[in-house]
Chains A and B, each alone.
Chain A
Amino acid sequence: DGGITQSPKYLFRKEGQNVTLSCEQNLNHDAMYWYRQDPGQGLRLIYYSQIVNDFQKGDIAEGYSVSREKKESFPLTVTSAQKNPTAFYLCASSPQRELDTLYFGPGTRLTVT
């Protein structure tokens, strides 16, 4: 059963805590992405990685960190420095280093109180 998995589906944290969102793909895709979605807004790119051990900041990288130690995994850490962390987080992958269509995971809804 191929695809992208994100876990957990819902995540609750207290303010001031770091939290790591999981993203795994078994599609053998080179590129992986993290987007954030807020109500009434489009998806905004946080970080992306086109190859293992390399990643670039997106438009809203402040307060987030990532790693890409394995091709199939691209975890996102939401740090306490992120001012408005409550959002729907979407991970995606793409077959090629150059942009192709994106395959999205089911998303993680993070609530920080």
Chain B
Amino acid sequence: SQKIEQNSEALNIQEGKTATLTCNYTNYSPAYLQWYRQDPGRGPVFLLLIRENEKEKRKERLKVTFDTTLKQSLFHITASQPADSATYLCALDEDTGNTGKLIFGQGTTLQVKP
């Protein structure tokens, strides 16, 4: 079955720098991949969706790339701010048939220091 791997170690960066988070998956390439933000004790919030035929997607300071050859998505936050500190989750469909079952990585915690 499909598995998602995100770096479990927290990422600490200085304010103003670019944060880059990695999401790797193990089997088939999904039709799309999603990124969510989760603050402590809260539900995740959707950020971006990238489809398999898209190499890159942007939204304000956020950028997501999708490399089906490497089976990897990168999530970038440019000009990072302390308010960007949170846990970021990637997610994709569990199966190729758009089953409606979204599976999540364990998330990477980002800490932006002022």
Contacts and interface: CB of A to CB of B under 8 A. Distances in A.
Contact of A92 (B43, B98, B106): B43
A42 B41 contact: no
B49 interface: yes
B100 A102 contact: no
A42 B105 CA distance: 5
Interface of A: 4, 31, 33, 35, 40-43, 45, 48, 50, 58, 88, 90, 92, 94, 97-99, 101-107, 109
Contact of A42 (B42, B49, B101, B104): B104
B102 A102 contact: yes
Nearest to A104: B43
A31 B98 CA distance: 13
Given A101-B49, A104-B43, A43 B101 contact: no
Q: How large is the interface on B (under 10, 10 to 19, 20 to 34, 35 or more residues)?
A: 20 to 34
B5 to A, nearest CB: 10
Contacts of B69: none
B28 interface: no
Nearest to A4: B43
What are the nearest 6 A-B pairs in CB distance? A104-B43, A42-B104, A42-B106, A43-B104, A101-B46, A99-B100
Given A102-B36, A102-B46, A106-B42, 12 more contacts: A42-B105, A42-B106, A43-B89, A45-B101, A45-B102, A92-B43, A94-B100, A97-B100, A99-B98, A101-B49, A102-B44, A102-B102
Contacts of B53: none
Contact of B43 (A50, A98, A101, A106): A106
22 contacts: A4-B43, A33-B102, A40-B106, A41-B106, A43-B44, A45-B101, A48-B100, A48-B101, A90-B43, A94-B100, A97-B100, A99-B98, A99-B101, A99-B102, A101-B34, A101-B49, A104-B43, A104-B44, A106-B42, A106-B43, A107-B41, A107-B42
B98 to A, nearest CB: 5
Contacts of A88: 41
Interface centre among A40, A103, A104 (most CB of B within 10 A): A104
